[in-house]
Chains A and B, each alone.
Chain A
Amino acid sequence: MAKRIEAVNDFVVKFANVNGSGSASANELFAKSFLRMGIPVSPRNIFPSNIQGLPTWYEVRVTERGWLGRRGGVDLMVAMNPQTWDQDIAEVEPGGYVFYDDTRPLPASKFRPDVNVIGMPLTEICNTNYVDARERQLFKNIIYVGALAALLGIEPEVVAELIGEQYKGKEKLLMPNVKAFHMGFDYARERLKDALGLKVQRSEAVGDSIFIDGNAAAALGCVYGGATVCAWYPITPSSSLAEAFQRYCSRLRIDESGRNNYAIVQAEDELASIGMVIGAGWNGARAFTATSGPGVSLMTEFIGMAYFAEIPATIINVQRGGPSTGMPTRTQQSDVLACAYASHGDTKHVLLFPEDPKECFEFAAQALDLADRLQTPVFVMTDLDIGMNQRLCKPLEWDDARSYDRGKVMTRDELEAGKDFGRYLDVDGDGIPFRTLPGTHPKRGAYFTRGTTKDRYARYSEAGPDYVDNMRRLQKKFETAKSMVPKPLLDASARPARFGAIYYGSTSPAMHEALEALATTGISINALRVRAFPFQDEIADFVASHSKVFVIEQNRDAQLKTLLVNDAGINPANLISVLHYDGTPITARFITNEISQIVRTLNVRPIKKDKAA
């Protein structure tokens, strides 16, 4: 007999399914049932770039402590896909469990001696109860959810309630689903008693948190932030953002006459989508696009123009694995440099790094303000891990006293009063000039926007001094941006720490968990979460006050580190990269192992807990 993992409210369940088999909604039902019992979960879709027939996985980390990063390892594998059987079995932790359809039992050789097997004749049950092939397939998913609920101790009332919400208004589907759920539940309760050492217990750990994917949250941020024009071209993992914007707008942005206070164009490509965003921004509407790496590559000529001609544009980059088509359905943070310096010539762009859906919401809205205020492209650098997975986060908040910062737009009255208008004139010493919108004044304020060099009054000029003057002002404007973008957040170690760590974006939950794990082994680290580029002085100060600083990233080339060295003047000798880039979300285990090893080789003995490491 294999040893059994015994755990309460702290384990990982992974579903191995076939894409297109209808498992997604059943799996989501499973994940949500924990939340309704007050237990935090962190689910992740792992899917191929394919629509039907290929393998897909859904991993649910059940975590009383609220560690929302991917843990690594699997305690219970729900192995529903014969194609991936061997790799799925191999992934189970020693003492873990495999749940499978044993209508046709598999020989012992197909299992591992250190893994516990739970069989249930799902196909047989379905064939007995349903005639229609599609029903047999769909209800099989609900039946296994029922069985798992019984095995784990999920309250059936909770699941029934969720099914009720899902099929509200579609009563015809409601009862059969509840029935299928109970079919699985009753079977497991009677015949699979105590087969599983993993259990759940009601908790209060979820609190008032909400469960939302980053793309939907960013889309809501665009609605709240006042975006009226969205132009996009479908690309994984960003498409669901534009689609969510469409969905929310159709509910929240209809005026009294039934007309739309928004316009969404599915463009012919990313060249066009960014062009439309720039056209709308030039003409005073808040506009954004959502895209991913290949789209950003196509957009770069336009992005450089928007930088140089100073036009607001918000670009939400839901990063995926690159280069090229790369790993379209996997996650990475590998567009940092491509976006920071997008386009030819001397260009620099504002980047925001949200850590979770809540910040996707906030930063999307803030990006629209920043783009108007700074008159430049602003990137929201999210990624697939945040964007396409539902994540538990604090409720979204909006202050009704907040108004939109439309930046320096000279009005008709100001022009009429004779205020001097120089489109590229630095009147306030912050590098940010005034602009006018087309159609404002019959005789004053019109100017020609161009990607070519010009003087302070927007007149074409190739004169060296005019060019340099303008480029310096743009640099000053970028300096000004430092005081406007989100500040880095310090997570100070409870004990004095020699080491620092810099991290950003979706690395956040894994990092928090790793910091605690490292602290328990005596390695104390002060951690700084960078939330934007350009970098504020606090970041260089932070590095200067530690002997070594780890920079944790999800890319091969240490892109943020390069940016820190290049743009914040940080000595690279003080930085040690911790890099994870296989396309899976970074885990606390990975960070902990890497840092522990490096600390060991640095000859620090982190043994005595009372000593600072």
Chain B
Amino acid sequence: MTYLTKPKLHHPSLHKNKVGYTRRDYEGAVSTLCAGCGHDSISAAIIQAAWELDIEPHRVAKLSGIGCSSKTPTYFLGNSHGFNTVHGRMPSVLTGANLANRDLIYLGVSGDGDSASIGLGQFAHAMRRGVNMLYILENNGVYGLTKGQFSATADAGSKSKRGAVNTDTAIDTVSLALLMGATFVARSFSGDKQQLVPLIKAAIAHDGAAFIDVISPCVAFNNHPGSTKSYDYVREHNEAVNRLDFWPSREAITVDYQEGGVIEVPQHDGSILKLRKLEADYDPSNKINAITHIATAAAEGEFLTGLLYLDPNAEDLHAHFKTSAMPLNQLGVKELCPGSEMLDKINASLR
């Protein structure tokens, strides 16, 4: 990691949004991630989305687990309360926080190690409970912070920097979120701001469990020939990858492409990521259809990106629980304590 000061994530704009904030008001501390790390691009997208959405920054609670990805909440929304919880257990802390105050916006940030390995259980259960949140998984296929071990989203057959071959099947977090009952499911790429920003905005607006898996290249540990996402590997499977030298190896990648087209995106390590933009007439409200599409694309070695599933009738946990309209953390002794007279009655019933 480098501690050098790096350029801001975007050109500061002094233009104010409807709630009177400039885009700079949505920024956080200077990132300490590796230069060019995909995670930083996601932070920039979050800043952009929050600004465009006219959210008051302090009305957002940002929570994360442990990992490079989970560090990022420090780097955006500096006027929001943040919580770096424990590894893999952000979903439960976010659930509790959400129960305490239904009026805030909850943003959970996690990594593939955090969500698909140690925290797989909590990830799944938060989805099935319908916690009203945006859950962003910054998926790089490795453990960045602990220096490059396989994560559970690493492809079977891929080779680590140290030469070990992964023989375990990869977990597809998008399919899992769908099966578990998430009501907004999307996948995107850290370099595709055009796609990611609107997805984040839509997810925040969603009233239920919204999940976005963002493929986010790790420049430090996914830059070797043995990786299934490496330049060499993809060249063997795809002829059309020779343009890679064009990309400076330590800069964030950006792509721009038409709906419905397949595009090959070079990653920092020289590997190719195939993104298929969904057809314009794709119906994201059909869950079975979504599952089929994801599986079909995966069989062809492609990642499907965009909004994959949306349940427009979603209900959140508070609706399930019939909790009071007033946030629970604002109720006082008057609302909560049944008083001594009632206690006398209870005593009498216990004789």
> Taking beta carbons and an 8 Å cutoff, which residues of A are in contact with B?
35, 208-212, 220, 223-224, 226, 228-229, 231, 252-253, 255, 257-265, 267-269, 271-285, 287, 301-302, 305, 395-400, 402-404, 436-443, 446-452, 460
A260, B321: Cβ atoms under 8 Å?
yes
C-beta contact mask, B326-351 vs A, less than 8 Å → 1, else 0?
A: 00110111011111101110110011
Of B322, B342, B351, chain A has the most CB atoms within 10 Å of the CB of B351
What's the A-B contact tally at a CB cutoff of 8 Å? 226
- Which chain B residues lie closer than 8 Å to A404 at the CB level? 332-333, 336
- Which chain B residues lie closer than 8 Å to A278 at the CB level? 85, 93, 96
What 4 A-B pairs come out closest when comparing CB atoms?
A279-B96, A275-B92, A285-B100, A276-B96
Quick one: which of A261, A397, A442, A451 contacts B324, CB cutoff 8 A?
A261
A268, B122: Cβ atoms under 8 Å?
yes
B73, A448: Cβ atoms under 8 Å?
yes
Q: How far is the CA of A231 from the CA of B328 in the complex (A)?
A: 14
- Which chain B residues lie closer than 8 Å to A438 at the CB level? 58, 61, 80-81, 97, 101, 104
Q: Any chain A CB within 8 A of the CB of B74? A: yes
Assuming the contacts A212-B350, A263-B328, asked whether A442 and B337 have C-beta atoms less than 8 A apart, the reply is no
- Min Cβ gap A392→B in Å is 10
B89, A255: Cβ atoms under 8 Å?
no
Assuming the contacts A260-B321, A397-B340, asked whether A228 and B59 have C-beta atoms less than 8 A apart, the reply is no
A279, B351: Cβ atoms under 8 Å?
no
- Min Cβ gap A122→B in Å is 31
Q: Any chain A CB within 8 A of the CB of B79? A: yes
Q: Which residue of A lies closest to B82 (CB)?
A: A448
C-beta contact mask, B126-167 vs A, less than 8 Å → 1, else 0?
A: 000100000000000000000000000000000000000000
B343, A439: Cβ atoms under 8 Å?
no
Q: Write 23 A-B pairs (CB below 8 A) sorted by A numbering.
A: A35-B351, A223-B337, A223-B338, A226-B333, A228-B328, A229-B96, A264-B321, A272-B89, A272-B92, A272-B95, A279-B85, A282-B100, A283-B100, A398-B340, A398-B343, A404-B336, A436-B81, A438-B81, A438-B97, A446-B78, A446-B79, A446-B82, A449-B84
Q: How far is the CA of A277 from the CA of B351 in the complex (A)?
A: 34
Q: Any chain A CB within 8 A of the CB of B323? A: yes
Given A276-B95, A448-B74, 5 extra CB contacts under 8 A: A231-B92, A259-B325, A263-B323, A276-B99, A398-B337
Assuming the contacts A284-B100, A285-B99, A404-B333, asked whether A443 and B79 have C-beta atoms less than 8 A apart, the reply is yes
Assuming the contacts A261-B328, A448-B73, asked whether A396 and B104 have C-beta atoms less than 8 A apart, the reply is no
- Min Cβ gap A214→B in Å is 13
Q: How far is the CA of A274 from the CA of B323 in the complex (A)?
A: 20
- Which chain B residues lie closer than 8 Å to A396 at the CB level? 343, 346-347
- Which chain B residues lie closer than 8 Å to A440 at the CB level? 58
Of A211, A263, A273, A446, chain B has the most CB atoms within 10 Å of the CB of A263
- Which chain A residues lie closer than 8 Å to B122 at the CB level? 268, 271-272, 275
Q: Which residue of A lies closest to B343 (CB)?
A: A398
- Min Cβ gap B96→A in Å is 3
Of B84, B93, B346, chain A has the most CB atoms within 10 Å of the CB of B93
Q: Any chain A CB within 8 A of the CB of B86? A: yes
Q: How far is the CA of A278 from the CA of B89 in the complex (A)?
A: 11
> Taking beta carbons and an 8 Å cutoff, which residues of B are in contact with A?
56-59, 61, 63, 73-74, 78-86, 89, 91-101, 103-104, 121-122, 125, 129, 317-318, 321-325, 328-329, 331-333, 335-340, 342-344, 346-347, 350-351
Q: How far is the CA of A170 from the CA of B59 in the complex (A)?
A: 52
Q: How far is the CA of A443 from the CA of B25 in the complex (A)?
A: 9
- Which chain A residues lie closer than 8 Å to B323 at the CB level? 259-263
Q: How far is the CA of A447 from the CA of B84 in the complex (A)?
A: 11
Quick one: which of B101, B317, B325, B332 contacts A257, CB cutoff 8 A?
B325
- Which chain A residues lie closer than 8 Å to B80 at the CB level? 438, 446
- Min Cβ gap B134→A in Å is 16
- Min Cβ gap B198→A in Å is 26
Q: How far is the CA of A209 from the CA of B121 in the complex (A)?
A: 46
Q: How far is the CA of A262 from the CA of B322 in the complex (A)?
A: 9
B96, A287: Cβ atoms under 8 Å?
yes
Q: Which residue of B lies closest to A228 (CB)?
A: B328
A263, B81: Cβ atoms under 8 Å?
no
Quick one: which of B58, B84, B318, B333 contacts A441, CB cutoff 8 A?
B58
- Which chain A residues lie closer than 8 Å to B322 at the CB level? 258-260
A228, B83: Cβ atoms under 8 Å?
no
A276, B93: Cβ atoms under 8 Å?
yes
Q: Which residue of B lies closest to A436 (CB)?
A: B81
Quick one: which of B79, B121, B318, B336 contacts A228, CB cutoff 8 A?
B336
- Which chain A residues lie closer than 8 Å to B338 at the CB level? 223-224, 252-253
- Which chain B residues lie closer than 8 Å to A223 at the CB level? 336-338
Q: How far is the CA of A281 from the CA of B329 in the complex (A)?
A: 9
Of B321, B328, B339, chain A has the most CB atoms within 10 Å of the CB of B328
A268, B121: Cβ atoms under 8 Å?
yes
Q: How far is the CA of A229 from the CA of B152 in the complex (A)?
A: 33
- Which chain B residues lie closer than 8 Å to A439 at the CB level? 58-59, 61, 81, 101, 103-104
Q: How far is the CA of A280 from the CA of B98 in the complex (A)?
A: 7
A301, B86: Cβ atoms under 8 Å?
yes
- Min Cβ gap B306→A in Å is 30
Q: How far is the CA of A452 from the CA of B84 in the complex (A)?
A: 9
Q: How far is the CA of A436 from the CA of B80 in the complex (A)?
A: 11
Assuming the contacts A210-B350, A438-B104, A439-B103, asked whether A283 and B321 have C-beta atoms less than 8 A apart, the reply is no
Assuming the contacts A260-B323, A438-B81, A449-B82, asked whether A276 and B92 have C-beta atoms less than 8 A apart, the reply is yes
A229, B84: Cβ atoms under 8 Å?
no
- Which chain A residues lie closer than 8 Å to B103 at the CB level? 439
Q: How far is the CA of A297 from the CA of B3 in the complex (A)?
A: 38
Assuming the contacts A398-B337, A448-B82, asked whether A265 and B99 have C-beta atoms less than 8 A apart, the reply is yes
Q: Which residue of A lies closest to B80 (CB)?
A: A446
Q: Which residue of B lies closest to A268 (CB)?
A: B125
Q: How far is the CA of A451 from the CA of B90 in the complex (A)?
A: 13
A280, B82: Cβ atoms under 8 Å?
no
Q: Which residue of B lies closest to A450 (CB)?
A: B84
Q: How far is the CA of A397 from the CA of B343 in the complex (A)?
A: 7
- Min Cβ gap B327→A in Å is 8
Assuming the contacts A261-B324, A301-B86, A442-B79, asked whether A228 and B100 have C-beta atoms less than 8 A apart, the reply is yes
Assuming the contacts A229-B99, A278-B93, asked whether A210 and B74 have C-beta atoms less than 8 A apart, the reply is no
- Min Cβ gap A239→B in Å is 19
A224, B337: Cβ atoms under 8 Å?
yes
A220, B346: Cβ atoms under 8 Å?
yes
Q: How far is the CA of A283 from the CA of B92 in the complex (A)?
A: 13
Q: Which residue of A lies closest to B328 (CB)?
A: A228
A279, B79: Cβ atoms under 8 Å?
no
A229, B86: Cβ atoms under 8 Å?
no
- Min Cβ gap A96→B in Å is 30
Q: How far is the CA of A212 from the CA of B63 in the complex (A)?
A: 41
Q: How far is the CA of A31 from the CA of B318 in the complex (A)?
A: 42
B86, A267: Cβ atoms under 8 Å?
no
Assuming the contacts A272-B125, A439-B61, A448-B73, asked whether A285 and B343 have C-beta atoms less than 8 A apart, the reply is no
- Which chain B residues lie closer than 8 Å to A208 at the CB level? 347, 351
Q: How far is the CA of A284 from the CA of B322 in the complex (A)?
A: 20
- Which chain B residues lie closer than 8 Å to A211 at the CB level? 350-351
- Min Cβ gap A177→B in Å is 20
B101, A285: Cβ atoms under 8 Å?
yes
Q: How far is the CA of A493 from the CA of B19 in the complex (A)?
A: 71
Q: How far is the CA of A501 from the CA of B211 in the complex (A)?
A: 59
A283, B101: Cβ atoms under 8 Å?
yes
Q: Which residue of B lies closest to A231 (CB)?
A: B96
B89, A265: Cβ atoms under 8 Å?
no
B121, A269: Cβ atoms under 8 Å?
yes
